[in-house]
Amino acid sequence: MVQLSERPSTRKITNLQEKFIYELGAIYDAEHRFLEAQQLVWQKSQHQQLKSLVETHIRETEAQIKNLEQVFSILGQQPYRVTSDAAAGLVSDGQKLALLAADNPQIVDLGAVGAQSKVEHLEIACYRGLIKAAEQQGQNDIVQLLQQNLQQEEQTAQKLEQLLPQLLQEMTSGEGRTKTGRSR
């Protein structure tokens, strides 16, 4: 849910460095929101492959947040969150679908895969933009940290794309229910 009360005071952007820090703050906020959302998916899903994918990415996301904190530190800044309305919106969309489909766990799982896939693509776009900007400034240490995050997002997006047809197949054949021990 978007909470306007947590929106920090907006700093003016007058140069590329300030724009970079603003966007860094937005992905830093997005990663925190996505971490929480993934923890909920992990708690609620009974699908072993989805759970294990999410579990791996929860650990990666925690490391990514640390990488972002290191980038702030290289820039001589305290880490700070700039409310990402895009991230809040994606989480909210995913939660709505999960609520509407609450009676059918397989649809909830499918919705979670779709929502997470949108999340990964948002993150990929953010990291690619930040990496280009850091490359242009010759900030190789920052490029390296952001590249680690980007690679994990790209790998996760790929894994989700592979999992989607499998979940659809399981749903059509009824296989997923017996495999995961669901009785609905």
User: What residues make contact with Fe ion under the rule CB under 5 A?
Assistant: 123, 153
Check the CA dihedral 150-151-155-161 and report its sign. Answer: positive
Of the pair 29, 123, the CB lying nearest Fe ion is at 123
Q: Specify whether the backbone of 174 is left (phi greater than 0), alpha (psi in -120 to 50) or beta.
A: left
Of the pair 130, 170, the CB lying nearest Fe ion is at 130
Of the pair 5, 43, the CB lying nearest Fe ion is at 43
CB 119, min distance to Fe ion, A: 6
Of the pair 109, 120, the CB lying nearest Fe ion is at 120
CB 130, min distance to Fe ion, A: 14
Query: Is 90 exposed, middle or buried (CB count within 10 Å of its CB: 0-12, 13-18, 19+)?
Result: buried
CB 139, min distance to Fe ion, A: 22
Report the largest interatomic distance among the alpha carbons of the chain, rounded to a whole angstrom: 58
Q: Specify whether the backbone of 113 is left (phi greater than 0), alpha (psi in -120 to 50) or beta.
A: alpha
CB 124, min distance to Fe ion, A: 8
